[in-house]
């Protein structure tokens, strides 16, 4: 019995936590389980989840990307500024391309200048923020009357808001990529042992360029959705997004040391943080305490992650 419990815990710990937290919150606040509230929770989760899914690839490859918040803001501003001249759909594409270009630049800096990802993307964070502020002259960009842009955040398909569809779609796509394709296998090999990957004939540089480009695109998409929610873009958008993105990946169970990835975990990680924030709101907990709670949650998850999975069985035994 304990063995079975332990196995379930090891494979689905984040899922178990999400369910438990869900039950607790629904007992504490009857509003939690209302459809509107649940959709709201999931929409908020999707914003971080989308960039978190890209980040999962980066972390699986043994790297991570600190510039995603800056990319999100950059993509939003580029896209918004182009709407009057090229229209909504093309400007969205332009925003995503901008994200890909910054991501590719990250990859090139890492492989060609041999700068560690931490430094490279930290530098790019500041550079891209700077460029965005220069480009917008530090002002907000509004889309007056261009409600078409709302398709990214305000529209419903079969009663479910677009961001949720996007997050689930990207999770399925990237889950397939990482588990079933050669590119995915190369990412895992790289994150598991870089020299061994090189010696297996893997084109390591190209793999990293692709990984960081994908992270760039997911970051840009998050930025576009964020901007479309308020129909405003500026150079201060999505500050700190990099940390929440890394947090949801870790919460989801992807090891920071690379070599493995779980997209479902990342989705659930994002959902958990969103649920906790929402629950604390419903319970009228002051905002500062919410920050504290989420911080504790992340530390706990990180501790579990570093200790290679939490051995529930041994805890039970110790008690017995």
Partner 1 sequence: MSENDYRVLLEVEELTRRFPGVLALNQVDFDVRAGEVHALVGENGAGKSTMINILAGVLQPSGGKMLLDGTPVVFHNPADAQRAGISVIFQEFNLIPHLSVAENIFINREPTRNGMIDWTNMNKRAAEALKRLEIDIDPRVPVSSLAVAQQQLVEIARALAFDARVIVMDEPTAALSEHEVDSLLEIVRSLAKDGVGVIYVSHKLEEVFRVADRVTILRDGTHILTDITSNLNEEKVIFAMVGRALVHGKCPDRTLGQVVLTVKNLDVENSVRNVSFELRAGEVLGLAGLMGSGANEVVEALFGLRKAHADEIVLHGKALVIENPRNAIRSHLGYVPNDRKKAGLLPDLSVKQNISIGILERLRKVFWIDGNGEQASAETYRGKLNVRCSSLNQRISNLSGGNQQKVMLARALAEDCNVMLLAEPTRGVDVGAKAEIYTLIDALVDSGMAILLQSSELPEIIRLANRVVVFSSGQSRGELADADLTQESVMALATRV
Question: What residues make contact with partner 1 under the rule CB under 8 A?
Answer: 176, 180-182, 185-186, 188-189, 191-193, 195-203, 255, 258-260
Q: Is 114 helix (H, G, I), strand (E, B) or coil?
A: coil
Shortest Å, Cβ 251 to partner 1: 19
Q: Give CA 311 to chain center in angstroms.
A: 27
For 279, list phi and psi in degrees, rounded to 5. Answer: -60, -45
Shortest Å, Cβ 219 to partner 1: 24
**In whole angstroms, what is the distance from residue 152 CA to residue 65 CA?**
24
* Residue among 139, 129, 140, 151 at smallest CA distance from 228: 151
Nearer residue to partner 1 within complex by CB, 150 or 185: 185
Nearer residue to partner 1 within complex by CB, 193 or 290: 193
Nearer residue to partner 1 within complex by CB, 43 or 254: 254
Shortest Å, Cβ 178 to partner 1: 11
Nearer residue to partner 1 within complex by CB, 11 or 34: 11
Q: Is the dihedral of CA 137, 139, 145, 148 positive or negative?
A: positive
Shortest Å, Cβ 190 to partner 1: 9
Q: Is 142 helix (H, G, I), strand (E, B) or coil?
A: strand
Do 78 and 59 contact (CB within 8 A), yes or no? no
DSSP code of 159?
T
Nearer residue to partner 1 within complex by CB, 185 or 236: 185
Nearer residue to partner 1 within complex by CB, 260 or 281: 260
**DSSP states of 53-96:** HHHHHHHHTT---TTHHHHHHHHHHHHHHHHHHH-HHHHHHHHH
For 78, list phi and psi in degrees, rounded to 5. Answer: -55, -50
- Residue 307 has a CB neighbour count (10 Å cut-off) of 9
Strand-pair category, 156-157 with 160-161: antiparallel
Shortest Å, Cβ 51 to partner 1: 24
Shortest Å, Cβ 225 to partner 1: 28
Nearer residue to partner 1 within complex by CB, 154 or 259: 259
**In whole angstroms, what is the distance from residue 292 CA to residue 286 CA?**
10
Shortest Å, Cβ 117 to partner 1: 18
Q: What is the longest distance spanned by two Cα atoms in the chain?
A: 70
Nearer residue to partner 1 within complex by CB, 89 or 203: 203
Shortest Å, Cβ 230 to partner 1: 38
């Amino acid at each position: 019995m304990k063995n079975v419990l332990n196995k379930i815990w090891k494979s689905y710990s984040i899922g178990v936590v999400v369910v438990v937290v869900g039950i607790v919150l629904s007992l504490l606040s009857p509003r939690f389980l209302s459809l509107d509230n649940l959709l709201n929770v999931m929409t908020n989760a999707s914003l971080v989840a989308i960039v978190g899914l890209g980040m999962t690839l980066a972390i699986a490859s043994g790297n991570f990307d600190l510039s995603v918040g800056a990319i999100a803001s950059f993509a939003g501003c580029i896209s918004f500024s182009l709407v009057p001249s090229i229209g909504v759909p093309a400007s969205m594409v332009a925003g995503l391309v901008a994200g890909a270009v910054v991501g590719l630049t990250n990859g090139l800096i890492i492989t060609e200048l041999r700068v560690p990802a931490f430094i490279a993307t930290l530098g790019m964070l500041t550079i891209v923020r700077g460029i965005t502020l220069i480009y917008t002259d530090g002002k907000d960009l509004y889309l007056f009357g261009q409600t078409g842009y709302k398709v990214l955040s305000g529209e419903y398909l079969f009663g479910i808001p677009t961001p949720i569809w996007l997050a689930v779609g990207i999770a399925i796509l990237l889950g397939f990529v990482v588990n079933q394709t050669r590119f995915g296998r190369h990412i895992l090999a790289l994150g598991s042992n870089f020299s061994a990957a090189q010696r297996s004939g893997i084109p390591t540089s190209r793999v990293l360029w692709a990984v960081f480009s994908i992270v760039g695109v997911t970051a840009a998409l998050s930025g576009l959705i964020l901007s479309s929610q308020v129909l405003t873009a500026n150079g201060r958008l999505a500050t700190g997004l990099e940390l929440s993105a890394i947090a949801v990946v870790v919460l989801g169970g992807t090891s920071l040391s690379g070599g493995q990835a779980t997209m479902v975990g990342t989705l659930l990680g994002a959902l958990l943080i969103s649920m906790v924030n929402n629950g604390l709101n419903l319970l009228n907990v002051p905002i500062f305490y919410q920050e504290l709670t989420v911080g504790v949650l992340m530390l706990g998850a990180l501790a579990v992650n570093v200790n290679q999975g939490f051995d529930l069985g041994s805890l039970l035994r110790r008690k017995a």
